Amino acid sequence: MDIRAIAFDLDDTMLRDDRTLSAESIRVIREAAAKGCRIIPASGRARDSMRSFVEEFGCADAYIACNGAEVWSPRHELLMRLTFPDETSQEILSFVRAHGSYAQTYSGDHFYYLEESEWAPRYAASSMLTGFYTPDLESFIREHPTSKILLMDREDRVARMLTEARERFAGRAAVTCSKPYFLEFNPTQATKGNALAFCAENLGFSLGETMAFGDSLNDLSMLERVGCGVAVGNARDDVRSRVSHVCGTNEENGPARFIAQHVLGEETAR
């Protein structure tokens, strides 16, 4: 394959279930970079939750955070950011309160959450970020315009709210899921696909020359826009059915082995 850029999701895609990178994944990504491929991690995570992984690879040309609402340089300098109009963010919080769900937003290297529950410590452990209880999240967001509001709830409730939220906020917010118990709100144009297009324009490659990997709904915007969209074997069924390639699971180092074969020309992974 004639590939000049590789973009990939982190959780449940490039990261293993214990949220670590394998030595094989690091080797393959570094060798692809040495071959001239642009390397672009793309996650729903906030910048500071991605930072250690970007530095562990040591070869990213840019990275996409908050589902495409932000693009950062490898030196962690902001290149692009989209935020909600205040009216929209306030209505999203009204939606959250009406459903009695947990929600949080981000500012700097912290997250700020609406109510005390099991979700905040769970998120802190998985994201490596510190959270602060902020019962008046409406006022906080008014003073700190945000790129993302994350709702967490039971999987069955999130599945129902996804449809409702997409209808209610059509044209005003991008609504997606990266995990079955996450419902994520971003500014309308904030998608991984749009952010990757921004990277392509600024780094000098085309989406047609790009290979991308993902597992969930928030990855579809980039998987469907690139020349080679690849779902991992553990991806949602409604993601795997919409791409042309499926590789091994995140636990099997699926993306690394696909890159090794199709970009590096290795018969099998070392």
3 state SS of 67: helix
Quick one: the chain helix, strand, coil %, rounded to 5? 40, 20, 40
Q: Are residues 146 and 199 in the same domain?
A: no
* Angle CA 166–14–11, to nearest 5: 40
For residues 201 and 92, give the distance between their C-alpha atoms in angstroms, rounded to a whole number: 32
pLDDT at 109: 87
- Token pair for residue 227? 């020349």
Structural domain boundaries enclosing 93: 86-186
User: Which residue has tokens 């209610």?
Assistant: 168
For residues 84 and 228, give the distance between their C-alpha atoms in angstroms, rounded to a whole number: 31
pLDDT at 268: 60
Buried b (16+ CB within 10 A) or exposed e, 186-215: bbbebbbbbbbbbbbeeeebebebbbbbbb
Residue 202 placed within a domain = yes
Count of structural domains, the chain: 2
Q: Are residues 18 and 66 in the same domain?
A: yes
pLDDT at 108: 85
Q: Are residues 258 and 241 in the same domain?
A: yes
For residues 212 and 180, give the distance between their C-alpha atoms in angstroms, rounded to a whole number: 21
User: Which residue has tokens 């553990």?
Assistant: 234
Residue 165 placed within a domain = yes
CATH code, 90: 3.30.1240.10
Residue 175 placed within a domain = yes
Closest CA to 147 of 91, 177, 190: 190
The model's pTM is 0.95
**Strands, DSSP E only, in the chain?**
5-8, 38-41, 63-65, 70-72, 78-81, 102-107, 110-113, 130-133, 149-152, 174-176, 182-186, 210-214, 228-231, 245-246
Q: Are residues 176 and 116 in the same domain?
A: yes
Q: Which of 124, 155, 186 lies at the terminal end of a domain, its last residue?
A: 186
Q: Can you give the pLDDT of all 270 residues of the chain as single tens digits?
A: 799 999 999 999 999 999 999 999 999 999 999 999 999 999 999 999 999 999 999 999 999 999 999 999 999 999 999 999 999 999 999 999 999 999 999 998 899 999 999 999 999 999 999 999 999 999 999 999 999 999 999 999 999 999 999 999 999 999 999 999 999 999 999 999 999 999 999 999 999 999 999 999 999 999 999 999 999 999 999 999 999 999 999 999 999 999 999 999 997 644
Q: Are residues 72 and 91 in the same domain?
A: no
Q: What are phi and psi of 103, to 5 degrees?
A: -150, 155
Residue 95 placed within a domain = yes
